[in-house]
Every structure is written in C-alpha cells, then in structure tokens.
Amino acid sequence: MQGGLLPIFVHPDTGYFRYKEIRLGSRGDSYYEYLIKQYLQTSGQEPVYREMWEEALAGIQKHLVTCTKHSKLQFIAELPHGIGGPLSPKMDHLVCFLPGSIAIGATEGLTEKEARNLPGWNSQKEQQMQLARELMKTCWAMYAVTASGLAPEITWFEVDEADIGPSSRSPPMARSNNDKSSWEQDLNIKPLDEHNLQRPETVESLFLMYRVTNDPIYRKWGWEIFKAFKEHMVVKDGEGYTSLQDVTKVPTPQRDNMESFWLAETLKYLYLLFSPKEFLPLTEVVFNTEAHVLPRFNQIKFQRGWNRREL
C-alpha cells in the first residue's frame, strides 16, 4: 500500500496485491467506503479505521484529484499503472459514493454547523468538506449535460495534459464554475459507456450531503434526477422501471431489465433525501454499501482480530 491507496487486484493464492492499477470505481470503491463507515458504526472504538481513512483520503487528494480544462470541475481520475504513472481522465458513476462518505467522515454524522463548534474541527476538515462539495457538483454535472438528464455509466473528462502526467501533482485548489456550457465542453461519453443502470451512488451522496450541510441545492438536484428517472425509465405499461441503453438520446432507448438496487438503494436514498432529519439520524445509524441500515454500537465493546503492520 502506498499513499493509503490500494491496487484493485489481489492474488487468490498469496493474498498479495497484484498489478498496480488504482481506482475508486469498479473493484475498488467499497474498500474506501467501509474504512470510514466501520469506524462510525463502532462509535470510534476502532480508531485504526479512521487512521486508514485519513491516509486514503490524503492519497486521493494528492494522487487522484484533478480538474477539467474549461470549468475546473474536480473529479477522481484513475492510475492504470499505479502511483507515479499518468492519470486516466475517466470516472465511473460508482465513484459518486465519495462526496457523501467524505462529508460523514468530516462531521461524523453531525451537521456541518454542529461539527464546526467541536474542538476537533480544523482546516483539514474544512478542505475535506470543500472537496465533497466540488465532487458532488461534478457528479451532478454528469447528469446535467446529457439529453435525458441521466448520467452514463462512465464519464471521460477534457483536461490539460500537464494535469494528468506522471504524478508530482498538487491537489487543485480553484473552485469550479457553474456554467453548463463549459461543463458540456469538459464531459465526454464514449459509445460503450452511454448506458444507465439505475445506480444509487449520486443520490446516496446527495442525501448525505443534504443531511450534513442543509443546503437545499442537493434536494433540488435530487428532484431533477428523480423526474428524469420517471420520464425515461418507466416501461410502456407503467408497471416498472428499466435501465437505459443510451442517455445521450431522447427518446431514450430502454433495456428491458430492472436492477435490484433500483428499489433497494436508489429509490430508498431519494425517499430519505426528502425525509425529515429525525428519521434515521446519521448520528445513530450507518448505511452499508447496499443501503442496509445498521445501528451504531455504543454499549458493545469491540476488539478487532488483527494488528496493522507496514508493508
């Protein structure tokens, strides 16, 4: 492990990492998400997971965060050849779990206003919240630039070549703009990536960001996404919703299959986005990667069965 980031492949016989590819999309996302959620679920009794989360987030900021050429939208790139190699300017929709996880990691489920009044609040947490806001905007832009108003499975970004060269980069500090026309210049969708599988990651983060910040923009974006889902995904007889073949077209070609996580996660998070904060408060529960609601444990004492060592 280098910079808190892990390659996505593990050899089944040796247990050692195989190859160098690093990404927070497919095959890599849940590891990072569970670092902070495990810490929160056990009410801070396992601080090693907080340490590993902070190391990973620092590595993400140093090695993976870059910005688009025109609008300066920040996104999480990939490292096909590991740290020290060039970035690949693509981001899976799966990566949109990250802004919400960053927000609950910085505040531990409190509102941002409440967390700022605690002694442990510092400039690092402010920077983390700013990154969460920027990434949330990028995830929304993935929806906003398409004809259907729905995001593709993968988005590619226009970048300056200097921003994706062999990594000696500093995290981008400039804030992005809100000009949709410049977003359209910066976001590209390849033919094999045009489909939408009814994924929940963006609306999950919108729910968490709204609960933490109380900013109504996240409800507004969530409502626009919900309307687009209803318009384009409902099947002909109105008795179900299907994934889509190409979000760049209207009418949007349908696939004739409904993913299980559409009901279990996507609609659940949209419902929670518009629910009162007293319903399943983030200070009392944690949502796992499949949106199951788990209580935070306060009375049970935990002792993990392993010790961390440097590799």
Q: Is 176 within 8 Å of 73 (Cβ atoms)?
A: yes
Name the active-site residue from 21, 112, 153, 204: 153
From the centroid of its chain, how far is CA 199? 12
* 137: Cα within 13 Å, side-chain hemisphere: 19
Distance from C-alpha of 249 to C-alpha of 165, rounded to nearest angstrom: 34
Residue with tokens 């988005």: 155
Q: Is 268 within 8 Å of 275 (Cβ atoms)?
A: no
Distance from C-alpha of 284 to C-alpha of 106, rounded to nearest angstrom: 16
DSSP E strands, the chain: 9-10, 17-18, 65-67, 74-76, 90-92, 154-157, 187-188, 285-287, 293-295
Distance from C-alpha of 257 to C-alpha of 238, rounded to nearest angstrom: 14
From the centroid of its chain, how far is CA 234? 26
DSSP-H helix ranges across 44-122 = 47-63, 98-107, 112-116
Query: Which among 18, 29, 41 has a CA at the least distance from the CA of 295?
Result: 41
Residues in the annotated binding site: 289
Residues in the annotated binding site for Ca(2+): 289
Respond yes or no: is residue 153 known to be catalytic. yes
User: Among all residues, which ones are annotated catalytic?
Assistant: 153
